[in-house]
Amino acid sequence: MTGPISKAAGFTPRVAIVLGSGLSLLAKSLVGGDPIPYGAIEGMPASAIEGHEGALYAAEVSGVPVAAFAGRVHMYEGHSPQIATHAVRQVVEEGCEIVVLTNAAGGIDPNLEVGAPCLIGDHLNLTGTNPLIGPHDKRGPRFLDLSEVYDKELRALAHSVDGDLREGVYAGLMGPVYETPAEVRMLRTLGASLVGMSTVLEAIAARYLGARVLGISVVTNPAAGVSPQPLSHDEVAEVGQRAAARLERLLSGVIAGL
């Protein structure tokens, strides 16, 4: 299968990696090659958020054809769920089998170490919407089973690469505001250990089209009220950048183990 992403990459990726806030640099070190600006890829929306580069890196990593999206678009920028999931839907429609969704997240569980990656075991979609609303395009089931959004085998592989890796429930909210301490207490009561503003819609879209999904958060800060410190995007991006090396080891180990 081919399409705009495969055309730009020069091959159909088997693995697509979406890089979250502050994690874009990883695309260069993990995948390498020349960045392909999103503007050069037909249909690709660009992100206006600092720390989200807006370029595709495509190359073989350990013999696996990989495409890394350095930068994602979010609904809080005013985009629809369809636009926010465009890159993931497009790459899966072109034949990509595995989607790795990374993000920067607040740690609701106080035991989560800032700077450490944490696997997403399940999610709470609290955005109030999802990318499958609307007429059924019949590429997947009308009523999608979400019993296992985040692939068990891929999670086991990730745990085998990094024995210290934690796993938690990610609460995906609309943003762009950070949460209030009361909201964070609510999320903890609901069973969430991580909170962020992305990932859940892309995970649903990828599962709908039959891809396997791995979700990894990098805990960039204790969530609001967990520590007395106010939250800032600069801190999120900076911690993300510092944590990128650890995430890169995990990702390269997972790719090598596929």
Q: Inter-axis angle of helices 233-256 and 152-161, to 10 degrees? A: 100
Question: 93 catalytic, yes or no?
Answer: no
Query: Interface with ligand HPA includes 126 (CB under 6 A)?
Result: no
Query: Interface with ligand HPA includes 47 (CB under 6 A)?
Result: no
Alpha-carbon 68 to chain mean position: 11
61 bridge partner residues: 64
Which range touches ligand HPA (CB under 6 A), out of 82-90, 111-119, 134-142, 194-202? 194-202
Q: Please tell me whether the peptide bond between 117 and the residue prior to it is cis, using omega within 30 degrees of 0.
A: no
State which residue, 100 or 243, has the beta carbon closest to ligand HPA. Answer: 243
Which range touches ligand HPA (CB under 6 A), out of 90-98, 104-112, 200-208, 245-253? 104-112
Query: Interface with ligand HPA includes 105 (CB under 6 A)?
Result: yes
Q: What are phi and psi of 79, to 5 degrees?
A: -90, 155
In the bound complex, what is the minimum distance in angstroms from residue 219's beta carbon to ligand HPA?
A: 8
DSSP string, 66-124: EEEEE----GGGT--HHHHTHHHHHHHHTT--EEEEEEEEEE-STTSPTT-EEEEEEEE
Query: Interface with ligand HPA includes 57 (CB under 6 A)?
Result: no
In the bound complex, what is the minimum distance in angstroms from residue 178's beta carbon to ligand HPA?
A: 5
State which residue, 25 or 157, has the beta carbon closest to ligand HPA. Answer: 25
Which range touches ligand HPA (CB under 6 A), out of 54-62, 68-76, 147-155, 190-198? 190-198
Report the alpha-carbon distance of residue 195 to residue 184 in Å, rounded: 8
In the bound complex, what is the minimum distance in angstroms from residue 214's beta carbon to ligand HPA?
A: 19
Q: Reduce the DSSP state of residue 152 to 3 states and report it.
A: helix
> Which sequence positions are flagged as catalytic?
21, 52, 74, 76-77, 104, 197-198, 221, 233
